[in-house]
Each structure stands twice: as structure tokens, then as C-alpha cells.
């Protein structure tokens, strides 16, 4: 009976230690850096565009433009760059938002 109790107690303590370690690593990583900023959405001719700026001056930034019912265009901005990105025809829906992604 004692062996069973000691084994169960050891399993609980080891499991708690592992979960604390995983939680502390996730907290240390912090939220992802938000480098890509949307300046404006606009339509020119028969195309939809979004003007994006990379706020991180030391590294490139990657993004995903979320458009309902379509494949999401992905791209990369170089350090400190501003770029007009074409993402759809004017007849299709406007993008909902632009999401920062890992490069």
C-alpha cells in the first residue's frame, strides 16, 4: 500500500514540475512581435490593395492577408519597408485583417 502511495505521489510531483517548466518557457517567450502595420486598404482600377509597413527596422517581417472565402495571400517585407500589396479583384470581398506570421 505504501509503495503504491509513494509511486502515485512521485508521479503527481513530476507532472507538476513538467507543467511548471512548460508554462514558464511559454511566458518567457512573450507575445510575438507585431512588425507589420496596415496603413490603408484601397481599390485602384479593378484590383484591391493594402499598404503595409514593417515597423521592425532590424529584421524582415512576414504577414498573411485574411480574405474570406479565398486562399490567404502571404508575403514578406524587408527591414523598414513600405509596400502596396495586391490581394484580390475589386469584385471580391475586402480583406478582414492582416496577421503577423513567422518567417
Are 50 and 25 in the same domain? no
Task: Give the whole-angstrom CA distance, residue 100 versus residue 89.
Answer: 23
What is the pTM for the complete model shown? 0.66
- Structural domain for 63, as ranges: 36-101
Predicted confidence at residue 33, as pLDDT, reads: 76
What string of pLDDT tens digits covers the 103 residues of the chain? 666 556 666 666 565 554 544 555 555 566 667 899 999 999 999 999 999 999 998 999 999 999 999 999 999 999 989 999 999 999 999 999 999 998 8
Looking at the fold, whether 25 and 47 belong to one and the same domain comes out as no
Q: How far apart are CA 63 and CA 99, in angstroms?
A: 6
Does residue 42 sit in the same domain as residue 26? no
Please tell me whether residues 40 and 13 are part of one structural domain.
no
Amino acid at each position: 500500500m505504501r509503495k503504491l502511495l509513494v509511486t502515485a505521489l512521485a508521479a503527481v510531483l513530476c507532472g507538476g514540475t513538467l507543467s511548471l517548466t512548460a508554462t514558464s518557457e511559454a511566458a518567457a517567450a512573450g507575445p510575438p512581435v507585431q512588425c507589420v502595420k496596415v496603413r490603408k486598404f484601397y481599390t485602384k482600377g479593378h484590383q484591391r490593395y493594402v499598404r503595409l509597413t514593417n515597423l521592425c527596422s532590424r529584421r524582415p517581417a512576414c504577414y498573411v492577408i485574411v480574405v474570406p472565402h479565398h486562399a490567404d495571400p502571404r508575403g514578406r517585407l524587408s527591414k523598414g519597408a513600405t509596400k502596396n500589396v495586391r490581394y484580390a479583384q475589386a469584385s471580391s470581398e475586402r480583406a478582414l485583417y492582416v496577421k503577423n506570421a513567422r518567417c
